[in-house]
Amino acid sequence: MKKEFREIAKKLVDSMTLEEAASQIKYDSPAVESQDIPAYNWWNEGLHGLARAGTATVFPQAIALAAMFDKEMLQKIGDVIATEARAKYNESRKYGDRDLYKGITMWSPNVNIFRDARWGRGQETYGEDPYLTGALGVAFIKGLQGDGKYLKTSACAKHYAVHSGPEALRHGFDAKASAKDLEETYTPAFYAAVKEAGVSGVMGAYNRVNGEPACASQKLIVKKLRGDWGFDGYFVSDFLALMDIHENHHVTKNVVESAALALKAGCDVNAGHVYREIMEAYRQGLVTEEEIRNAAINAYTVRAALGMFSSDCEYDSIGIESLDTDESAELSYKASINSTVLLKNDGLLPLNKDKIKTIAVIGPTATSIAVLEGNYNGTSSRYVTNLQGIRNAVNPGTRVLYSEGSHLFNSKVQNLAVDDDRLSEAETVARAADVVVLCVGLDSTIEGEEGDTGNAFAAGDKTSLFLPESQQKLIRRVIDTGKPVIIVCNTGSAIDFSYEDENVSAIIQSWYSGQAGGQAVADIIFGNACPGGKLPVTFYKDGTQPPMEDYSMKNRTYRYFTGEPLYPFGYGLSYSSFEYSDVKVNENDTEAASGISVTVNVKNTGAVKADEIAELYISNQIGEKLTNGLNDSVEKLKESTDADNQPVFSLAGFERVTLAPGEAKTVTFKPGERAFDTVLEDGRRVKLHGQYKLYVGGQQPDARSEALTGSKCLTAEISR
């Protein structure tokens, strides 16, 4: 934060009575009449579009935006969200409307690690990899906050830290993570948000972390976030999380003690009602006046940085004309295209619409708006469902037949007559068509946040990686017709498509696809656009993951998984083909944070214009290094390492390029300063000497990826 903003904040807070200052560290801060400061509600959401505030541009869900592997586009999306938030804020305050979801402190992005494919809120994240999550989080934060004199909006990295389910237990759960896993997986994205993006807010998680409530943790907040990283923004609790400290974690005896514990740990703003008791904590001698005022100064520094106490803020003129524009709609459509991942194609796609006389669109997500939205969403004026997109795309005279086919999930009372009442219609429609587009998936009533929308299954977490039984029956019934089948899947997480992969012609992963999701699906099916997304998460076979309550990273994510995935992280097919060549390593690049840059030539060898995502991985296996002539100082670290607990390889760079047929471009990677670090069992980062292997290609360098794509990564070795 700029020094001038903290000076403004300090002057204002110092002029308040202690009671007034204490009132300003609640999320629903009342007006301070003595200072002519209006009321302000801190709570607003902008995960993938301005949320819960009426009409706004609805972009694909965050997990879909991650599948784009595109920092530049994500920053543009963040900027649109900030523009629309400013427009709502400016217009609503004209009428004295200062309610929640009308402010410019956005409680986004979610940079938690999607470590377990069953986690309902995983859809809000950028996937399972800490480097990808950090890089995309930085881009999104920069888009939200802008680069002007003032912050365009305030971004907030959440949920700090070690938070990824289970949803049903989160209010009393103690997430036990090793020092190595904390440093290697759970906190790097937060570090990037603070150090690289200058994020102005951080939100704590509901759970405890190794015994300490995350929203009142001396180790996480005081030592690491404020101390080691130098974070100078505001820290906010998750909603009602401070109540959990005494009601569910049982760390304190009552609400007053919880308020004191959180304030002393550096929680500046309470989303909830615990800080209503902060003055009682002061009267009991549990907190000091300085601690209360410091929290208020931290909060007011952000408000000053947003221009709330100035008359020259460059964003104050943004108005209603900036909402729901054609330009933002086009960006949302492009994001829907670029995030779509083609998981399987036996050659059926793209369809030649001139040869299709009748097409069947079947399934419970074909007409669903919910699967366009995901959770934490706004309301669009421009929804295009999967069915409507296909109707719009086919030639005049082509017959489009539709059947719901099945319910989204089985009724709680197992009445097969009700659950299966659309199967015969679906079969009839399928048999009458030349090809079937089978629309399946989930929505936020099945996977999502605990208690958010009355989730039907496990408080928002999935109970398995399979689609609900009702949809499995539908899929088998349609496949049995013998007609060519294209599956379009709308989910926010991985699905086990083992059976479908063997029995259908194509599988398209559309995620929660945004307001133009149906248009994007249709354009990809008919070849008006080329799929280019890659998976930000591993698609496992059901039953291969550890218990959800186990927070060890062993056998989780592509970096540690010992089994064979169905579809690997970083994987996705295209209608074109690409050739990688001439990989070069510059070990003395003074402009790269790590001192190393890598270049590779990528050529489109296919017949259509297409995007390719080039990926760089680094292999850093201690076991090999310690038998590879390392110096004595490293040998002494042997007892502090576990060769079996190291990543097999880790993503260290990615670039999305657009190539015309026959066109080639040189892609340059500049790994970050931490790219070659080894994290020891005690959590220390060290830079070991020895040989490092680099892999460059259109996927990760594992056997499954090579088998699916038919290509191998190029390799290079360097000495460090």
Name residues whose C-beta falls within 8 Å of residue 405's C-beta, 6 or more positions apart in sequence: 362, 363, 364, 422, 423, 425, 426, 438, 474, 478
CA-based torsion, 358, 364, 370, 375: positive or negative: negative
Residue 386, H or E segment: helix 386-393
b/e per residue 351-381 (b: at least 16 CB within 10 A)? bebeebeebbbbbbbbbbbbbbbbbbbbbbe
CA-to-CA separations, 366 to 65, 338, 339, in angstroms, rounded: 21, 20, 19
Q: b/e map of 169-198 (b: 16 or more CB within 10 Å)?
A: bbbebbbebbebbbbbbbbbbbbbbbebbb
| Tokens read off for 310 | 């100035």
Q: Which of 644, 656, 59 is nearest to 328 (CA)?
A: 59
| Residues β-bridged to residue 601 | 581, 666
Q: Tell me if residue 238 is catalytic.
A: yes
Tokens, residue 653: 């760079």
Which amino acid is located at 73 in the chain?
A: M
Task: Decide if 256 contacts 224 (C-beta within 8 A).
Answer: no
- Which among 181, 238, 324, 443 is annotated as catalytic? 238
Q: Taking Cα atoms as reference points, which of 604, 596, 582 lies closest to residue 661?
A: 604
Place of tokens 């989303």: 271
Q: Are 676 and 720 in contact (CB under 8 A)?
A: yes
Distances (CA, A) of 389 to 86, 456, 525: 31, 29, 10
Distance CA 371, CA 365 (A): 7
CA–CA separation, 595 vs 461, rounded Å? 42
- Burial environment of residue 95 by CB neighbours within 10 A (0 to 12, 13 to 18, 19 or more): exposed
Strands (E), 564-710: 578-586, 597-604, 610-619, 650-659, 664-669, 678-679, 685-686, 691-697
DSSP 393: H
- 161: preceding bond cis by omega (within 30 degrees): yes
Alpha-carbon distance values, 293 to 10, 81, 251, 282 (Å): 9, 32, 25, 12
In 3-state terms, what secondary structure has residue 264? helix
Distance from C-alpha of 87 to C-alpha of 318, rounded to nearest angstrom = 5
Strand 506-509 vs strand 341-345: parallel, antiparallel, or unpaired?
antiparallel
Rounded CA gap, 513 and 535, in Å?
14
State the DSSP code for 632: H
Tell me the DSSP string of 484-540.
Answer: -EEEEEE-SS----HHHHHH-SEEEE--S--TTHHHHHHHHHTTSS------SS-BP
Structure tokens at 221: 């907040």
Quote the longest CA-to-CA distance of the chain: 80
DSSP strand pairing (506-509 vs 485-490): parallel
Output phi, psi for 428, to 5 deg. Answer: -60, -45
One-letter amino acid of 661: P
Give the active site residues.
238
